[in-house]
């Protein structure tokens, strides 16, 4: 399993791992229902194949809100299937760091869906079973404390 470090809801879930194994895909990607302001990749067909396409890769004028879900950047991966090099492109991303413009070159793990048989699973965004609790900064972390406690409490009670 692999997830962004800022997603506090992403944990190893036996049900998700079981679904991954049952479907026989090399990669299983978790998606959630979009909410206003969500930005990121979404499953879309490219050359007839369903894969995660990052928002900036969609054609100009494409209504990204027409896709009701988006990528959480949480994946279950088959270790043997990813034990090779992939030709993932680098993307130039402009950011502001300490008030100054900066350029970052990054690769996107969701682009593995272009190379590997992929299953997609829609997971709960919130509530006791929530799997998407991103906290990008201390303010957002503070706003999510209640949700984080709810998820942790729910998972602890399942274990004990």
Structure tokens at 48: 């007839």
Supply the pLDDT for residue 156: 60
Residue 26 has pLDDT above 90, yes or no: yes
Domains of the chain: 2-159 (3.90.550.10)
Q: Is the pLDDT of residue 157 over 70?
A: no
Provide the percentage of residues in the chain whose pLDDT is more than 70.
96
- Average the pLDDT over 12-24 and give the result: 94
| pLDDT reported for residue 135 | 84
CA dihedral 149, 155, 156, 158 (to 10 degrees): 150
pLDDT in tens, 77-108: 999 999 999 999 999 989 899 999 999 999 99
With cut-offs at 50, 70 and 90, classify the pLDDT of residue 160.
very low
Taking residues 23-35, report their average pLDDT.
95
CB distance 154 to 128 below 8 Å:
yes
pLDDT digits over 39-55, tens only? 889 999 999 999 999 98
Q: Give the pTM.
A: 0.86
Angstrom distance (rounded) from CA 52 to CA 155: 29
Closest to 43 (Cα-Cα) out of 57, 24, 26: 57
Measured CA to CA, the distance from residue 23 to residue 30 in angstroms comes to 14
Q: What confidence score (pLDDT) does residue 74 get?
A: 96
For the ranges 1-5, 35-39, 57-61, 123-127, the lowest mean pLDDT is seen at: 35-39
Whole-angstrom distance, CA of residue 84 vs CA of residue 129: 34
Helix spans in 41-81 (H): none
């Amino acid at each position: 399993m692999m997830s962004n470090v800022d997603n506090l809801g992403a944990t190893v879930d036996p049900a998700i791992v079981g679904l991954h194994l049952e479907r026989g895909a090399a990669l299983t990607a978790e998606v959630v229902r979009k909410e206003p302001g969500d930005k990121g990749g979404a499953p879309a067909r490219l050359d007839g194949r369903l894969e995660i396409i990052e928002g900036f890769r969609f054609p100009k004028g494409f209504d990204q809100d027409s896709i009701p879900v988006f990528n959480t950047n949480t994946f279950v991966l088959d270790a043997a299937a990813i034990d090779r090099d992939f030709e993932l492109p680098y993307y130039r991303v402009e950011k502001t760091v300490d008030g100054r413009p900066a350029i970052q070159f990054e690769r996107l793990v969701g682009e593995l869906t272009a190379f590997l048989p992929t299953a997609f699973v829609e997971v709960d965004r919130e509530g006791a079973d929530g799997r998407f609790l991103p906290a990008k900064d201390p303010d957002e972390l503070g706003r999510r404390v209640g949700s984080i406690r709810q998820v942790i409490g729910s998972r602890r009670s399942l274990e004990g």
